[in-house]
Chain A
């Protein structure tokens, strides 16, 4: 259990941040015929869904997909537990598509690397960008988000926890948790 939790974004600020992300995406795609939002399991999926809803409301044509990165994780063999597979679901033609990968937090960049590998099993997109709610400093790979709502630098032993009511019974929250031991 976390020793201490402090709020990074309130529920209302979370909603505002997602709206702001949607706005930046829309402004960067003025005149685009169609874009694809692809959420990375687990919490990139509700983020991508909310962004897709916001963008569609403002008249952008949006395709939606999901990516399960389990098979491409570089640390799979070190896991104590075996993850249940969610499966990727890209049911539109990816070739030539303008894709925005969505994840709730970027930290080391390893998940994004894995997501790109899995994404390429479905085709060859024209361009792939990255949207995150929280950009946590500490990259271990040369991967940067194109859209992010908030940038934070944390101490060792701290982590960002973003929760979405679609998958978390306790509802929306965005907090920093301090753990007795780092990962």
Chain B
């Protein structure tokens, strides 16, 4: 089987079912490489992958960098702090510079939705969205789906409860979408102020853990609490959030009794979304998600192909 390459990966919504399957299937083979003493393969030899992060993110950035290195690409980071961006250079000026450097893949994160798409239209390089505003985080969604597929093989009928600031979360948006595309059922648990303004009606919305657990999820997916939001008026304090929506030690016990899996996109705020006991929970998939992120990003880089502006 073969598949036509695409130039960019901007969101989950624009992917076909075949494309999602292709990326997830190949990721199995990429993960298999990690067991070898030589973890590196040469398909991107001579290609340059550049990470362009307008928002800080050590984990996602290094995951992409490790993935690109294992495909034998040359990896460069465009350091925003020290670049002329702080002097007011526009995104498109930066892209023009990168175009002149002839980079082949650009991994972008930006606080404003739509910036990766804007960049993609203005460069021949392949653009991968590594998170844009509240819009999308497609590689996170793919790695989440991959992680559950390792356990369930067929995700149809599997239930995921997503907990936290759904409205302001690109992870919730992309991950819900891919879960549902793969036949899963999704529900949200969040305070009213964090529920999405317009969500599909078939996604149940819960305001407390008791009701949410009565829905009988198989997986509890905790979103990260953005610490900068804690100062905003609609947002509860960290202690309040933990008490009402966090995975407290008491809730860890309930989840353990029911055998549920726990996921989190990282990095976690211990004592807010989750406790130390939650982190140590034997069915936590959080570290598996990190490992799988590399395999899935390798699979994405392998599939995309730079093209024309």
Chain A residues at the B interface, C-beta cutoff of 8 Å: 68, 70-72, 76, 79-87, 117, 121-122
B41, A80: Cβ atoms closer than 8 Å:
no
A87, B28: Cβ atoms closer than 8 Å:
yes
A84 contacts which of B26, B32, B36, B305 (Cβ < 8 Å)?
B26
A84, B1: Cβ atoms closer than 8 Å:
yes
A80 contacts which of B4, B29, B30, B303 (Cβ < 8 Å)?
B4
B29, A81: Cβ atoms closer than 8 Å:
no
Given the known A-B contacts A82-B305, A122-B36, are A68 and B5 also in contact in the complex, defined by CB atoms under 8 Å? no
A81, B42: Cβ atoms closer than 8 Å:
no
Residues of A close to B32: CB separation below 8 A:
87
- The digit string for B168-184, where 1 denotes a CB below 8 A from any CB of A, is 00000000000000000
Q: How far is the CB of B67 from chain A (nearest CB, A)?
A: 14
Q: Considering the complex of A and B, which 9 residue pairs feature the smallest CB-CB distances, nearest first? A: A81-B2, A87-B29, A85-B29, A71-B41, A84-B1, A121-B38, A85-B26, A71-B43, A82-B5
Q: How far is the CB of A80 from chain B (nearest CB, A)?
A: 7
A80, A83, A84, A85 interface centre (most CB from chain B within 10 Å) = A85
A84, B3: Cβ atoms closer than 8 Å:
yes
A68 contacts which of B25, B29, B42, B305 (Cβ < 8 Å)?
B29
- CA separation between A86 and B26, bound complex, in Å? 8
B302 within 8 A of A: yes
Cβ-closest chain A residue relative to B25: A84
B25, B30, B32, B43 interface centre (most CB from chain A within 10 Å) = B43
Residues of B close to A82: CB separation below 8 A:
2-5, 22, 302-303, 305
- CA separation between A85 and B21, bound complex, in Å? 12
A70, B4: Cβ atoms closer than 8 Å:
no
Residues of B close to A81: CB separation below 8 A:
2-5
Given the known A-B contacts A68-B29, A121-B36, are A83 and B2 also in contact in the complex, defined by CB atoms under 8 Å? yes
- The digit string for B94-118, where 1 denotes a CB below 8 A from any CB of A, is 0000000000000000000000000
- CA separation between A83 and B43, bound complex, in Å? 12
- CA separation between A71 and B38, bound complex, in Å? 13
B302, A72: Cβ atoms closer than 8 Å:
no
Q: How far is the CB of A6 from chain B (nearest CB, A)?
A: 28
- The digit string for B1-18, where 1 denotes a CB below 8 A from any CB of A, is 111110000000000000
Residues of A close to B29: CB separation below 8 A:
68, 85-87
- CA separation between A71 and B30, bound complex, in Å? 11
Residues of B close to A71: CB separation below 8 A:
41-43
Q: How far is the CB of B135 from chain A (nearest CB, A)?
A: 26
Q: 11 A-B residue contacts at CB 8 Å?
A: A70-B43, A79-B2, A80-B4, A82-B2, A82-B3, A82-B4, A84-B2, A85-B26, A85-B29, A85-B30, A121-B41
- CA separation between A176 and B22, bound complex, in Å? 32
Residues of B close to A85: CB separation below 8 A:
25-26, 29-30, 302
Task: Name 18 extra pairs, CB < 8 A, besides A71-B42, A84-B25, A117-B42.
Answer: A68-B29, A71-B41, A72-B42, A80-B4, A81-B2, A81-B5, A82-B2, A82-B302, A84-B2, A84-B3, A84-B22, A84-B26, A85-B29, A85-B30, A86-B29, A87-B32, A121-B36, A122-B36
Residues of B close to A68: CB separation below 8 A:
29
Residues of A close to B25: CB separation below 8 A:
84-85
Cβ-closest chain B residue relative to A89: B32
Q: How far is the CB of A45 from chain B (nearest CB, A)?
A: 15
B43, A76: Cβ atoms closer than 8 Å:
yes
- CA separation between A113 and B2, bound complex, in Å? 22
Residues of B close to A121: CB separation below 8 A:
36, 38, 41
Q: How far is the CB of A176 from chain B (nearest CB, A)?
A: 24
Q: How far is the CB of A62 from chain B (nearest CB, A)?
A: 23
Residues of B close to A80: CB separation below 8 A:
4
- CA separation between A81 and B4, bound complex, in Å? 5
- CA separation between A93 and B34, bound complex, in Å? 17
Q: How far is the CB of B63 from chain A (nearest CB, A)?
A: 20
Residues of A close to B22: CB separation below 8 A:
82, 84
Q: How far is the CB of A65 from chain B (nearest CB, A)?
A: 13
Q: How far is the CB of A67 from chain B (nearest CB, A)?
A: 13
- CA separation between A24 and B303, bound complex, in Å? 42
Q: How far is the CB of B270 from chain A (nearest CB, A)?
A: 37
Q: How far is the CB of A89 from chain B (nearest CB, A)?
A: 8
- CA separation between A42 and B49, bound complex, in Å? 31
Q: How far is the CB of B308 from chain A (nearest CB, A)?
A: 15
Residues of B close to A79: CB separation below 8 A:
2
Cβ-closest chain B residue relative to A90: B36
